Amino acid sequence: MTKPTASAGIAKAQCLCGAVAFEIDVPARWAWHDHSPTSRRAHGAAYATYVGSWRKRFRITKGKGAITRYEDTDGTARSFCSRCGTPLIYERARSPHMVNLPRALFTGRTGRQPLYHIGIEELQEWAYTGEPLVPLKGYPGVVWQRTKKKRRSAGDDPFELAREEV
Ligand SMILES: [Zn+2]
């Protein structure tokens, strides 16, 4: 983490449908992977990767009226696009000067690599963590992890029958 410095550029982001766009001055303050259950659900993903920006270095450049806000009982607020549902802004009451933004929405560099993890003990056993992958025969564009540490239950693998038939 560093103190805010003079702007070295701008990083732009947008939601899936393009109704909402925003930008931050780079470098961002920091970036991290958030494995907490709340972020997992809010993103519908194994974990969320955020870029933290000082609020004063963050600007909504398009579609302010399309943003909907959900305030949780724990003092956090999550804003998302009312048209396409993309998560946009994650705010925490204890950090009023910061906004946390999904890294995936940025098209370019943000000046920070996500070197940190929050809630790593919540990493899901089904999350992909870089195991070697090989092409799946007969399914162009599909790769898979040939061996598993844990035995999968039958019916867990939609390609199981297809492989046996090959
Ligand atoms: Zn949208």
The total number of structural domains in the chain stands at 1
pTM of structure: 0.82
Among candidate residues 141, 61, 81, 91, the one with its CA nearest the CA of residue 159: 141
Determine, yes or no, domain membership for 142. Answer: no
Tell me the residue range of the domain where 30 lies: 9-122
Using pLDDT thresholds of 50, 70 and 90, give the confidence band for residue 79: very high
Q: Which amino acid is present at 39?
A: S
- Tell me the CA–centroid distance for residue 143 and ligand 1, in Å: 30
pLDDT digits (tens, 9 = 90+) for 143-160: 999 876 555 555 556 666
Q: Please give the Cα distance from 159 to 138 (Å, whole number).
A: 10
Tell me the pLDDT band of 134, cut-offs 50, 70 and 90. very high
The answer to whether position 151 is within a domain reads no
Residue 114 lies in a domain: yes
**Ligand 1 centroid – CA 40 distance (Å):** 19
* Residue list, CB under 5 A from ion ligand 1: 15, 17, 19, 81, 83-84
Tokens of 116: 């940190």
- For residue range 106-132, list pLDDT tens digits in order: 999 999 999 999 999 999 999 999 999
The rounded Å distance from CA 5 to ligand 1 centre is 31
Provide the CATH number for the domain around residue 66. 2.170.150.70
